[in-house]
Structure 1
């Protein structure tokens, strides 16, 4: 990293949403620029620096929470904000020129303005307005996180949508959207820009699974060459640049590795990062806004000059503080404050739970705009709480009674001035439930915020709508679950949310049917779902997945007294398919454990001092990779047991589905023990097809 930046604290506003800070274009090259910030108090602020001091150019009255702020108009000098389902437009001087009710049912979560066109997204609905009149719309059936508009040579507009099903959709009028599949959910879209010129072809995309979720993106030239500015949920601000020779028109078709120039953590999630010249003419900087509303700059101005400017303003600042203290004292003496003790206090909590594919655990992120005091976690299903290296909170576990539906009760006591906390947990396949979270603040200890987060039964990811017809894949390695009954498509869609993660709020129908496809985050087996009114078909490579899904769907139907005819066709080839997926991982972790044992033995025998004299070439190579090997082992020390558990559950569910008999996990472990110890796929497969265990196979697996 080779970009020296110094921090300047500018101001503090209320809690902010993502993408609510924008920088105006400068009238002259390298002159300071004004910027606008909007917060959850409904206040729009416009700031500018004059003579080295930050001044408020405009400040609106409080109102409904502002979820989004964008710039539009000629020269991007008009401010557009989204409050609920209403869009308001202000000039840079604070004059209200537009108040437009979009008639959307849900609050606007994404907003973009291009000339006379305004795009607004609310939950899973995209709508575009031309001169405040309906132009076109699109029901995605997925959560829409962001939107940008791109002009064309004609009268059409391209709309780029960041969708919750790991996809970017490109809309062109009323035509069927083009779909670009991504490995993770896109959360942020930003046009590639050079100075004030925005590209008509390149769009930057930030995703949830970019190691840490990306919350803001921008491009700006801080020194030589264009840089990419990144804000993350964990509070990190990063700056990357590309090698100059790679910045070619064909960049979109090439894989280019960027170089990290700068990284700094702000101790709370980042709402916005924008490039501009803010504090001093001629010195580019990164303007940063955090979740709690802190606004600061990371400037290229040398530290020596910066300190001189700060010393000059220190005397003025002290005088202003003294004046404010005197004014506050006078108001306390003359004013009578009346506080309603029964008035509820509401904490503003930012939270998200995401699935980590590497170790199939969930990351739970909790953030307040004030320091966190305690976080209490209660689960009505078995979960395992995992250690997080960056988590400094003190964890206390309480005794629970599972018979009362209480499996986990834990308290995280946070250190002073901790605004955000990350926790990790692992669930048990087939056991859905609800995670109840209670958060208290150090500033408002009597105020508590409750969150309810559903825990799905299956740890799956990467779903998509465009899958082949399941009816053509009933043969081969897929086990087929078929349901027939008097249910509606909305009903079964709601039932699926208990079993599958991130099920869209509304089913996206294609010729009257909804289609979903999932991949197991742990072993990679596939589950395909197709359902409509009165019938549903589910195809799964893993029989355990099919059995779990069947149990949950039949349970929900029973609760609502809906009769179901259930048919389960078991494919013999599915067993070998799943074992082929598991065994490479099983052999890899076995080899890793063996290497760790060898390294520990070498250390115990004190043979590491002169490896060239005492050890063979193989052991010398192990010593050279010792830190890497032990680091891999520490990532998931229980991986071998979890892989064995997958095979054990597979055997239990196979016996249940194929032979209509129930066996315990203990019995399954005994039958599989010798075969698993041999690490031979053929021996394990033989346990499943052993003729001694064969009984007449049923035509369906109704039990």
Structure 2
């Protein structure tokens, strides 16, 4: 296996960019330097190429409204040399020299979010609406039940039928036929981006790559009809995200390893760039990775800096365009050799000095202008505007929320405030210093924490774990390093069933408790109540008479089924506490709107021991971990005084060997055991609450049973009280 050695080179910085806003234009010469086309959120589209190590502009448009997507197009079968951008509800087309040849207003009510161009076919979508145009004439339309994250069409030079695919937030790829849904392909996470395998869909043109918000990547075979899809499995392979890297924002295919096979290039929202090759069985193998300081929204393979040298070109959120090139950037000098600086390098150093001096002069001028205007009575201090790219997403692996905050300039500090109890968990890649302030819990303030960032930090990642049943608002006050000081507030809802995640499959063999609500409410009203309770649901009211959503608890692996329509809602779960939370919150929401609800429930006794058995492995592990951590200090002290440790049992010797690992794990999740105790206590109270019995006085006895934990004793306690 060839060692892949890539070295970073920086090209230039544009404004803040949206994902998939950079493309490399094709070059007639084989391995000749390619032009780079990039669009940013200030509405500027520009193209540049590298000459003698400098970026030389080809063209640059004037600022306009925010550009959300850039794609290349051209006649089918020919090089893709035309540049298409989406801005608001409009699509514009430019030649490679910058001449505008198309200005097409789609008249959509929402801004274009994603776009794909193939010959005379234009595929666009907003948040929920998909449109297909041929020669700018309306052809097809589809209203999606959940948010559309990306759109693609199978290669029309290989596949005769027009087959658009929508990547939707509800963990589904929707395959369309004209204006109808042909079938759905379920994927393991919310898909954020799509790409044709090997750039053209493989041998038959039907293979499709997807990247998900939880960092997984997979290859699926797209059949053109439901009948073909039902014949066999569509999933070819999947790259799991065991190291919990960020979500995949962009994918490209390029032979960077020069082995004659297209490699897989990935850009992630935590700044990681990865390269995967393929083995003899066409399974992906990791070949290279490098971390940037910002999220990577666009990635392309090609030749940019020097003819003959392949590279990966990436664009970050803040608009930094950089390359990872195969060209050696450093020349080794032997003993006695003179270090000679080439004329090209000298010219570059001279240009940089001049540019730096010019920037310093401009800063001085602007500072003087600001000072003089702020001292006059008429002028007011201008608050500088800055963009924030933030994400608040649930991780199934450790039942926590990741809050990532990215700013186009360096972050000074981030203040977190919450009116519900939450835990802040350790994040390895977070170098910020955190300090906690005293909170007035009686007045609903449960957290006040300040993260002070190191110099030049533009991205901060935090991990948060909430308690189900307690809901409210988490607020982040973001202050960048700019003068005058300014701050922006971001708000994140902590929902009553915040640790539940959408799923496609339910285990029908499990016993389930049922909650049934009836009353004078509309489908839109009950949908808004369910949205208030559960994450990952579309805000838009689904079409149809009846709605069905399935959920899985990321913490306990219990399940929940929600089925509702106008005037009726049925909720089934194997966890009584989930039913209890839903009953309380839905009743409260209905009361706010002065709607009377008729509530009935059917509780199954078997569900309680089954839920305890689901908690058992986690509880047993945490109790054992806590016991081991308590022993570490004593064993270390014994180790200092005793030279020979052979008298110790193998179990104690193993604790000593793994002491650092055990303490690090315990530190990462300090309140895990308390949470499990809390869930069992809630389950105990909720079970008897539905029977009309208040057992809060029995809680101390329950805690005694937990302190001397045994699964059978705990189940017996629930049954004998």
TM-score category of the 2 structures, normalised to the smaller one: 0.7 to 0.9
Q: 1:1-29 CA deviation, whole Å, 9 max, x = no partner?
A: 94222222111110011110001111111
Supply the distance in 2 between the matched residues of 1:40 and 1:309 (Cα, whole angstroms): 37
1:572 aligns with 2:605: yes
Q: 1:40-90 CA deviation, whole Å, 9 max, x = no partner?
A: 110001111234431110100000011111111131111111111111111
Match in the other structure for 2:485: 446
Supply the distance in 2 between the matched residues of 1:143 and 1:309 (Cα, whole angstroms): 54
Greater mean deviation of Cα atoms: 305-314 or 403-412: 305-314
Supply the distance in 1 between the matched residues of 2:203 and 2:455 (Cα, whole angstroms): 43
Match in the other structure for 1:258: 285
Match in the other structure for 1:272: 298
Supply the distance in 1 between the matched residues of 2:444 and 2:212 (Cα, whole angstroms): 36
1:498 deviates by 2.0
Q: Is the 8 A contact 1:241 1:261 kept in 2?
A: no
Map 1:127-526 to 2 at 5 A: 127-151=131-155, 155-193=160-198, 200-210=205-215, 211=244, 212-225=246-259, 226-243=262-279, 245-247=280-282, 256=283, 258-263=285-290, 265-304=291-330, 311-315=345-349, 317-318=351-352, 321=355, 324=358, 341=380, 345-464=384-503, 477-510=511-544, 512-526=545-559
1:168/1:329 CA distance change after superposition, 3 Å: closer
Greater mean deviation of Cα atoms: 34-43 or 672-681: 672-681
1:345 deviates by 3.5
Secondary structure, counterpart of 2:639 in structure 1? coil
1:31/1:538 CA distance change after superposition, 3 Å: same
Greater mean deviation of Cα atoms: 56-65 or 389-398: 389-398
Q: 1:179-199 CA deviation, whole Å, 9 max, x = no partner?
A: 222222211212233699998
Q: Is the 8 A contact 1:187 1:205 kept in 2?
A: yes
1:559 aligns with 2:577: no
Greater mean deviation of Cα atoms: 186-195 or 54-63: 186-195
Q: Is the 8 A contact 2:426 2:668 kept in 1?
A: no
Q: 1:658-697 CA deviation, whole Å, 9 max, x = no partner?
A: x213343xx353232343345433322222222xx4xxxx
1:604 aligns with 2:608: no
Q: Is the 8 A contact 1:602 1:608 kept in 2?
A: no
1:465/1:195 CA distance change after superposition, 3 Å: closer
Match in the other structure for 2:238: none
Q: 1:415-464 CA deviation, whole Å, 9 max, x = no partner?
A: 22221111222212111111222222212443322222111111334424
Supply the distance in 1 between the matched residues of 2:344 and 2:709 (Cα, whole angstroms): 68
Greater mean deviation of Cα atoms: 521-530 or 337-346: 337-346
Secondary structure, counterpart of 1:495 in structure 2? helix
1:362 deviates by 1.4
1:492/1:95 CA distance change after superposition, 3 Å: same
1:319/1:655 CA distance change after superposition, 3 Å: closer
Structure 1: state its 5+ residue gaps: 248-255, 694-703
Normalized against structure 2, the TM-score is what? 0.86
1:353 deviates by 0.8
Q: Is the 8 A contact 2:114 2:151 kept in 1?
A: yes
Supply the distance in 1 between the matched residues of 2:365 and 2:708 (Cα, whole angstroms): 81
Q: Is the 8 A contact 2:195 2:210 kept in 1?
A: yes
1:681 aligns with 2:711: yes
Match in the other structure for 1:46: 47
Supply the distance in 1 between the matched residues of 2:211 and 2:162 (Cα, whole angstroms): 22
Q: Is the 8 A contact 2:277 2:284 kept in 1?
A: no
1:576 deviates by 1.6
1:581 deviates by 0.9
Q: Is the 8 A contact 1:165 1:462 kept in 2?
A: no
Q: 1:589-628 CA deviation, whole Å, 9 max, x = no partner?
A: 3344445556555433229988784445555666665565
Secondary structure, counterpart of 1:258 in structure 2? strand
CA-based RMSD: 3.2
Match in the other structure for 1:662: 694
Secondary structure, counterpart of 1:514 in structure 2? strand
Q: Is the 8 A contact 1:194 1:221 kept in 2?
A: no
Secondary structure, counterpart of 1:303 in structure 2? coil
Q: Is the 8 A contact 2:199 2:252 kept in 1?
A: no
Supply the distance in 1 between the matched residues of 2:543 and 2:660 (Cα, whole angstroms): 51
Match in the other structure for 1:642: 675
Q: 1:349-368 CA deviation, whole Å, 9 max, x = no partner?
A: 00001112233221111111
1:118 aligns with 2:122: yes
Supply the distance in 2 between the matched residues of 1:205 and 1:309 (Cα, whole angstroms): 46
1:194/1:549 CA distance change after superposition, 3 Å: closer
Map 1:81-92 to 2 at 5 A: 81-92=85-96
Supply the distance in 2 between the matched residues of 1:448 and 1:677 (Cα, whole angstroms): 47
Supply the distance in 2 between the matched residues of 1:123 and 1:463 (Cα, whole angstroms): 19
Supply the distance in 1 between the matched residues of 2:628 and 2:615 (Cα, whole angstroms): 20
Q: 1:322-380 CA deviation, whole Å, 9 max, x = no partner?
A: 89569969998999997963655322000001112233221111111011122222222
Supply the distance in 1 between the matched residues of 2:204 and 2:288 (Cα, whole angstroms): 23
Supply the distance in 1 between the matched residues of 2:16 and 2:365 (Cα, whole angstroms): 26
Greater mean deviation of Cα atoms: 208-217 or 477-486: 208-217
1:585 aligns with 2:618: yes
1:99 aligns with 2:103: yes
1:673/1:431 CA distance change after superposition, 3 Å: closer
Normalized against structure 1, the TM-score is what? 0.88
Greater mean deviation of Cα atoms: 613-622 or 495-504: 613-622
Q: Is the 8 A contact 2:16 2:42 kept in 1?
A: yes
